[in-house]
Structure 1
Amino acid sequence: MTAQQAVDALGVDDAQGVDDALADFQGHLNLIFARARTLWKESAARVHPELQPSGYKLLAYVARTGDANAHQLAELFGIDKSMVSRQIRMLEDFGLVESRPDERDGRLRVLTATSEAQRTLATLRAENAGRMRAVLAELTPDEVRAASKAFRLLAEI
C-alpha cells in the first residue's frame, strides 16, 4: 500500500494525520495485548490453579485444533522446545492433555486435550465470546469485518 493509499484508507487529509491515526491505533493495540495477557493469566488459573499462561495458550491451541505435537507448538508460538516440553509435562500432570505416539513418526508424541479440559475451555470461550459480543454490539457487521481484516493483516507481519 502506498502512503497515499494509507492516507485515503484512513480518511485523513495528510501524512501527519496518518501518523497520528497509526499512533492511536498502536496505543490501543498495546492495551489489547495487556488485557489479553491478563485474560490468559485469569483463564489459566480457572483451568488449574498452577497452570501458567503459556501452558494455557498451548492447551487452548491443542483443544481448538484437535491435536498437535511439541514441535508444532514450539514453532507456532516461538517458544523454546525445552519450555514447551515442561509445559506439556505440566499439562499431562494436571490431567489436561493426553499424549500418544504419532502414527506417522513414532518419535513424536501427539497431544489431545482431555474431555475435562475441553469442557472447561468451552465454558471459558463462551464467557469470553459473551463479553466480546457485548463490547462489539455498537459496531455494525461491516465494522467488525473491517477490524477482523486489520487483525488478520497484522498477524501476517
Structure 2
Amino acid sequence: MTTARPDALRELEREVGVLIRRVRRVIGERARLVHPDLQSSSYLMLGYVVDHGPLRASAMSTIFDVDKGAISRQVQHLVDLGLVDRTPDPDDGRATLISVSDEGARRFRDVTEHRRKWFDERLGDWTADEILAFAGTMHRYNQALGADESWA
C-alpha cells in the first residue's frame, strides 16, 4: 500500500511540530544550565559567538534576522551575565566586537558536553551511520525549504 502524498506531508508537519516544541523547551533548559538568568534567545546567540566570534553586533543582526536594537539588548544581557565581552574592533574604532568570555566558554562547553552525552544515551541503539543518514536527511529537508542556517 502506498501512502498518499497529502497524508505524508501532514505526518511530516506533525512531526516537525513535535520537534519544534521540544527544541523550544530544550533551549530554555540549556539556557538555564548555562546561567539561571539566561534567556533562550540569548542562548542561541551565545552559541553562535562561541562558534564564530568575535564578531560585530551588526553581523548578528543579519545572521539572526533581528533588528539592531533587539540584538543590542541581547548582547547587553550576555555582557551583564559575564558570558561575553565587548572589545574595540581593530578595523574600525567606532565599532565593537563581541566575543565569548572565558566563563561563558566554560559554561557553554559544559552544557554542550552534557547535551552530547544525553543524545548519545537516547540514540544508543542507533549506529553512527544511522545518525549521519538522519542528519543528512534533515540537511536535505532544510535545504529544500531554503534554510541557510548551517551556522546553527
TM-score bracket, shorter-length normalisation: 0.7 to 0.9
SS of match in other structure, 2:126: coil
Q: Which residue of 2 aligns with 1:37?
A: 24
- From 86, 93, 97, the equivalent of 1:106 is 93
Unpaired runs of 5+ in structure 2? 147-152
Over the matched positions of the two proteins, sequence identity in percent amounts to 29
Q: Which residue of 1 aligns with 2:58?
A: 71
**TM-score under structure 2 normalisation?**
0.84
1-side partners of 2:121 and 2:6: how far apart?
30
Tell me by how many angstroms 1:50 deviates: 2.1
Tell me by how many angstroms 1:95 deviates: 0.9
Unpaired runs of 5+ in structure 1? 1-11
Bigger fraction of residues in helix: 1
- From 25, 35, 49, the equivalent of 2:12 is 25
Provide runs of 4+ in structure 1 moved above 4 Å: none
- From 47, 59, 71, the equivalent of 2:46 is 59
Cα displacement string for residues 55-100 of structure 1 (whole angstroms, at most 9, x for unaligned residues): 1111111012232221111111121211110011111111111011
SS of match in other structure, 1:106: strand
- Residues 106 and 155 of structure 1, relative CA distance in 2, 3 Å threshold: farther
Worse-superposed segment, 130-139 or 70-79: 130-139
Q: Which has the larger radius of gyration?
A: 1
Tell me by how many angstroms 1:46 deviates: 2.2
2-side partners of 1:73 and 1:146: how far apart?
31
Greater RCO, 1 or 2 (C-alpha within 8 Å, sep 6+):
2
